[in-house]
Every structure is written in C-alpha cells, then in structure tokens.
Homo-oligomer: A and B are copies of this chain.
Amino acid sequence: MAYIAVLGHGVVGSGVLEVLTTHTESLKKRAKEELIVKHILDLRDFPDLPYSDIFTKDFNKILNDPEVQIVVEVMGGLHPAYDYVKACLENGKSVVTSNKELVASKGAELLRIAQDNNLSFMFEASVGGGIPIIRPISQCLAANEVSEIAGILNGTTNFILTKMIREQMNFGDALALAQQLGYAERDPSADVEGHDACRKICILASLAFGTHIYPDSVHTEGITKISLEDVDYADVWGGVIKLIGSVKMLENGQVHIMVCPMLVHRGSQLASVDDVFNGIMVRGDATGDVVFYGKGAGKLPTASAVVADVIDCVKHFKTRKYLFWEDSKENYVADFGSMETEAYVHVAGETGDAAFTAAQALFPNAKRLLPKQPVDGEAGFTVSGLTEAALKEKLVALDERGVRVLNCIRISDY
C-alpha cells in the first residue's frame, strides 16, 4: 500500500481524488500497489464529501506522518507551496505537483533536494495539462538532441485568438467570453500577458537542455495589443496569429527563448491547434518535428497527469526518477536584442501609401501586405534579416517620422 497526502482541494485536487476513487482497481493493477489518500490539506471544510474525515488544516500532521510516502501539491502559487514541498522532500517524501509557478521558479533547487534524498520530484501536469510532454521529452527523446521547442502553451489566450480569427470577435469581447466560460480569471493578466506560457516554456527548456531558465530572463509579450486588422493581415500573409513560447539551442551553447504572439503558416501543425487546446512541437536531430496535442488544462486532464506521476513514483520508490537539471548559469540566455528576427509590422500614417513609403526608407526589403478589408491610413508589411535591436530602433525612428506603429508581430518558421 502506498499512502498519499494531497495539498489543496481546489479544481485539480478534487480531480485527483475523483480519478483515484473512480479508477481504484485499474490504478492498483498499474501501480502494483493500492494507492490510499490518507490526508488532504485544505483550510476550508468539506463536510459533505465521502472522504470528509481525512481533511486536515495542519501541514505538520502530513509532514510528520511516516506512512505518507508521496505528497501531491496542487495548491498553486509560490507560497506556501514551495515551503511545504521543500519540507516534504527534506523529510523523505516524494512530491508530485501540477504547479508550474513552483517548478519554473524553484525547479532546480527542488530537483537537487530530491536527488540528494533519493526521492522523486515530478511535474508532468505543470505543462500541457493532460498532454504527456515532460516524460516524452525526458525519456522517449533520450536518443535525440533536441534543438528547439515551440508551443501553444496557454489555452485561455488560444481560445481568445481563435474567437478573433474565426468569428471576428475583438480582443475585449473574446476575453469577456473566456471569463464568462470560466477559461479566464477575473484578473486575466497571467494569461493574456504571456506569464503563464513563459513559466511553461521555462520548464520545457530547463528539462530539454539541462539548465534552469528563470521566467524573468525571458522576453515575454502578451496578446492584448492584437487587433482584428492584425488577424486580417495574418490571413493575407497566409496564416494565423498564435501565442508561442519557444526556445532554441544556438550553436554557441546559448539559448534563444521568448514568448510572443507569432504569425504561423496555415500549413503548420500549430496553426490548427484551436480553442483551449495546446500543441507543443519538439524538434530533434533524429526524430524531426514531433507534435503533442490535447487539452492543456481542466480538472480531469490535469488530475490524470498528476495521478500518472503518482503511479510512476510508486513504481520507482527504490530508484529516483530521471528528471534533473542544473541551476541557471550566467550568459546562458542569449541577449534578445542580438537575435535575428522576421516580423510583420502594422503602421498608420496620413495615408496607407505614405506610411508604407516612409517605412520603406527604413526597411528597404519591406514587403507590403494588402488586407481584404483595408483601413484608411493604415499599412502592413513584413521585414526580415535584421536583429531584434535593429527592429526596435527602426520602429522608434518610424514613429519619429510621424508613422505610428500599431503592432509588430514576429513570424515563425514552423
């Protein structure tokens, strides 16, 4: 028998209990041991549940229970989640978490503690919800050198963009609808500003390349500035706008990592990832591009990923699991300004023609895009073959010449 404690009985926590109680027999068969939830930590009371009697408000009851071998942390947030997880690992308990903030901020430290104590620290559910991605990267692709990862990692923004693309709903209305449907929170900034996607690409990058990348070292842009005109220009260009988290290993050993909206070609596997779905492309030297697709969030998908980790933990009590990466090092993330880029630029001037002519003076190789529904005084064009710093500088210069830059969206090559 394997005794488990669950920290947090919110959406994911209650889902974990649901999966554990509805699949008891098949889980027992797969784990080769019975899985028993002994404690659930939550500050609230849940008097009407069949398992009401195992709730506790005292974390130390869990920490000091020698029978508990696995602690499932599904509280979210950094504190007290971090403190609890650290204490568990230091006290001989393996930990499974769905908490991407925790893994992105403290992964290297917690993996080190787990290793020192010969325990597992697992987090399949922290990226891509129910999509298996952590394990395939670390294990199935073990015989590959991963060179690049790019993904639609946030379901909320993908839902909003899908509504903008498919139904010409503007950003504000699409966000309001997402909130109404429970896909977006009242304060949607973690999603729409790209912070959630940033944590996830940091976790994937740390795992794939073996060195921790902290979210604050990543150039991150959200989708709040995207207009229906941009959607139209993307269509004319031949694709759609998606919020992409990407990381690429450069030849000098540095990584190019960023989160930003990107134009994705219609033929790309990522272009057809719609609504709240996630899609993650892993590029390996031997496998080529492999794409994982599925629901990136939600109670049961996330809970099933947590429980799969629990099963793996139980099967590996005697041998610590394979996940590991080193702490960050200096100059590991490449300077964003020096990266070469390709982008679509949306500008406004006295007339569209005048704005484009002014742009051409700065971007000699600019290619104009002609939208299906032109807006007076606006123009759109693509530029390539310059660095991020040069692009930024030229956009400022454009503004100084009286041409307003409405948006600038990078172009992906996948």
A: which residues have CB within 8 A of B? 15, 19, 23, 26-27, 30-31, 124, 129-132, 135-136, 139-145, 267, 269, 272, 274, 284-295, 298, 300-301, 303-308, 310-312, 315, 319, 322
Q: Is the CB of B141 within 8 A of A304?
A: yes
Q: Is the CB of B292 within 8 A of A290?
A: yes
How far apart are the CA atoms of A292 and B140 in the complex, in Å? 13
User: From A128, which residue of chain B is reached at the shortest CB distance?
Assistant: B290
Interface core residue of A287, A291, A294, A298 (most chain B CB under 10 Å)? A287
Q: Is the CB of A132 within 8 A of B142?
A: no
Q: Is the CB of B284 within 8 A of A289?
A: no
Q: Is the CB of B272 within 8 A of A19?
A: no
Q: Is the CB of A23 within 8 A of B143?
A: yes
**Among B130, B136, B310, contact of A284 (Cβ-Cβ < 8 Å):** B130
Query: In the complex, given contacts A132-B140, A136-B136, what are 4 additional A-B residue pairs having Cβ atoms less than 8 angstroms apart?
Result: A130-B284, A132-B139, A286-B304, A292-B292
Contacts of A143 in B (CB 8 A): 19, 23, 27, 303-308, 310-311
Q: Is the CB of B304 within 8 A of A294?
A: no
Q: Is the CB of B135 within 8 A of A308?
A: no
**Among B27, B124, B291, B303, contact of A294 (Cβ-Cβ < 8 Å):** B291
How far apart are the CA atoms of A135 and B284 in the complex, in Å? 18
The answer to whether residues A294 and B290 also contact, given A135-B136, A142-B30 and a CB cut-off of 8 A, is yes
Taken together, the copies of this chain in the complex come to: 2
Instruction: Name 16 A/B residue pairs within 8 A (Cβ), A-sorted.
Output: A130-B144, A131-B287, A131-B290, A135-B135, A136-B136, A139-B308, A142-B311, A286-B301, A287-B294, A287-B301, A288-B294, A288-B298, A289-B294, A289-B295, A290-B294, A315-B319
**Among B132, B274, B293, B315, contact of A141 (Cβ-Cβ < 8 Å):** B132
Top 8 A-B residue pairs of the complex, sorted by shortest distance between their CB atoms: A132-B140, A143-B307, A130-B287, A286-B304, A290-B294, A291-B293, A286-B300, A132-B136
The answer to whether residues A304 and B144 also contact, given A130-B284, A272-B269 and a CB cut-off of 8 A, is yes
Q: Is the CB of B311 within 8 A of A315?
A: no
Q: Is the CB of B140 within 8 A of A23?
A: no
User: From A31, which residue of chain B is reached at the shortest CB distance?
Assistant: B142
How far apart are the CA atoms of A311 and B144 in the complex, in Å? 12
Q: Is the CB of B303 within 8 A of A286?
A: yes
Contacts of A267 in B (CB 8 A): 274
How far apart are the CA atoms of A306 and B140 in the complex, in Å? 9
Interface core residue of A19, A130, A131, A141 (most chain B CB under 10 Å)? A130
Contacts of A144 in B (CB 8 A): 130, 304, 308
How far apart are the CA atoms of A30 and B268 in the complex, in Å? 31
Q: Is the CB of B301 within 8 A of A130?
A: no
Min CB distance A126 to B, Å, is 14
How far apart are the CA atoms of A315 and B129 in the complex, in Å? 27
Min CB distance A128 to B, Å, is 9
Q: Is the CB of A286 within 8 A of B19?
A: yes
How far apart are the CA atoms of A304 and B282 in the complex, in Å? 14
User: From A30, which residue of chain B is reached at the shortest CB distance?
Assistant: B142
How far apart are the CA atoms of A139 and B322 in the complex, in Å? 15
The answer to whether residues A301 and B272 also contact, given A132-B136, A145-B23, A322-B315 and a CB cut-off of 8 A, is no
How far apart are the CA atoms of A139 and B295 in the complex, in Å? 18
The answer to whether residues A286 and B130 also contact, given A291-B294, A293-B293 and a CB cut-off of 8 A, is yes
Q: Is the CB of A308 within 8 A of B140?
A: yes
Q: Is the CB of A300 within 8 A of B312?
A: no
Min CB distance A281 to B, Å, is 9
Contacts of A129 in B (CB 8 A): 287
